[in-house]
Amino acid sequence: MDLFSRGAELVRATYEAGGMAFFRGIDNSFPGYREAIGGPVDHLDPDIMDSVGSVVPIGKPLPTTNFRHIATISSNDRSVMATVCTYEAYANEEDNGLTTRFGRTRIELENVGTSAGAPGIPDADPDRENPAAHDPPDWNVFGSWKIRVFNTDTPEPVECNRWWHSLFPALPFDSETDRLDLPHGFHVPTQPVAIQYPEWIGPARTE
């Protein structure tokens, strides 16, 4: 998986911008996100969760590291379709719930312009913060791309279960059916908030 391809970049931008919109509202998320998602989103929209398309902040942020894995992706100059698997690790024990929330999200984008755009500058070091990085990016990552699907109501791909089990091998897992069970009371151990990777370094360089 090339995290710095244009398709993967758009998936990352969509997921991160949606998370920022959840806590800050769409007008205080990534540049261009409101236009890309066509917000504010109607709560009856079957394809896009209103929680990622609201003008009003919905959630309260907690010190957390969000882990994401692009399980499946199909990408070309006109469309991007992906499924993202996720889990969270809290920094403080008092914030940790009884059961860890493992999530999966379906993301689809359509390019309504003539160019897919070029991906931004890759983050070359996952272990070190880049002083040139922006959070959020200060450029419009989306360009002419529109978000058509952004929803957690999606079938669970076996790739998610395999990924979660590779990280938490003690969890009950049926290798024949790729079924993963989360016992009641299981939660991911707390950890300090990790360095973001990939960071948003800058837009594509132009000659």
Q: What pLDDT is recorded for position 138?
A: 92
Q: What would the pLDDT profile of 31-57 be if each residue is shown by its tens digit?
A: 999 999 998 998 888 999 989 999 998
Give the H or E element holding residue 14: helix 6-24
Of 145, 56, 66, 54, nearest to 105 by C-alpha is: 66
Q: How far apart are CA 152 and CA 145, in angstroms?
A: 20
Instruction: Note the pTM of the prediction, 2 decimals.
Output: 0.92
∠ Cα 111 163 199 (to 5°): 50
Confidence category of residue 98, pLDDT binned at 50, 70, 90: low
Integer Cα distance of 40 and 50 in angstroms: 8
Instruction: Count H helices and E strands in the chain, helices first.
Output: 3, 6
- pLDDT for residue 99: 61
Would you mind telling me the total number of residues written for the chain in this entry? 207
**Nearest CA to 9 among 115, 123, 104?**
123
- How far, in Å, CA of 143 to CA of 157, rounded? 29
Q: Are 36 and 145 in contact (CB under 8 A)?
A: yes
Angle at 58 between CA 12 and CA 84, to 5 degrees: 25
> What was the pLDDT predicted at 100?
67
Distance between CA atoms of 159 and 150, rounded to whole angstroms? 19
Share of the chain above pLDDT 70, in %: 97
